[in-house]
Amino acid sequence: MANPYPPLTDTPALTPLLLRGALLSPFKRPRADAEFPRTRLVLPGVRVDLAKLAAYERVCGFPTGDDALPITYPHVLGFPLAMRLMSCRAFPLPLLGLVHTSVEITRHTATPATGEYELTVYVDELAPHRRGTEATVTTEMRAGGVLAWESRSTYLARHRTEAQPPAATGEPEPLPTVAEWRLGEDVGRRYGAASGDRNPIHLHPLTARLFGFPRAIAHGMWTAARCLAAHGTPERALVRAEFRAPVLLPGTVEYAALGDRFALRDVTGRTHVEGFVRPPVV
How many whole angstroms separate alpha carbon 54 and alpha carbon 194?
A: 9
- How much is the pLDDT for 213? 87
- Which burial class, exposed, middle or buried, applies to 72 when counting CB atoms under 10 A from its CB (0-12, 13-18, 19+)? buried
- How much is the pLDDT for 6? 87
Q: Are 249 and 184 in contact (CB under 8 A)?
A: yes
Which residue from 148, 116, 120, 136 is spatially nearest to 39, judged by alpha carbons? 120
How many whole angstroms separate alpha carbon 259 and alpha carbon 276?
A: 9
What's phi and psi for 98, nearest 5 deg? -70, 130
Q: What is the pLDDT of residues 160-183, one digit of tens each?
A: 876 566 555 666 788 999 999 999
Q: Are 85 and 43 in contact (CB under 8 A)?
A: no
pTM of the entire structure?
Answer: 0.92
- How much is the pLDDT for 169? 60
Angle, CA of 188, 191 and 194, to the nearest 5°: 150
What's phi and psi for 134, nearest 5 deg? -115, 135
Residue-by-residue pLDDT tens, the chain, 282 positions: 556 678 999 999 998 998 999 999 999 989 889 999 999 999 999 999 999 999 999 999 999 988 999 999 999 999 999 999 999 999 999 998 888 999 999 999 999 999 999 999 999 999 999 889 999 999 999 999 999 999 999 999 988 876 566 555 666 788 999 999 999 999 999 999 999 888 888 889 898 888 788 999 999 999 999 999 999 999 999 999 999 999 999 999 999 999 999 999 998 999 999 999 999 987
Q: How far is CA 67 from CA 55, 64, 179, in A?
A: 15, 9, 27
CA 80 to chain centre: 12
In sequence order, the 6+-apart residues with CB closer than 8 A to the CB of 174 are 256, 269
Q: What is the pLDDT of residues 101-156, one digit of tens each?
A: 999 999 999 999 999 999 999 999 999 998 899 999 999 999 999 999 999 999 99
Our CA dihedral for 248, 252, 258, 260, rounded to 10 degrees, sits at 30
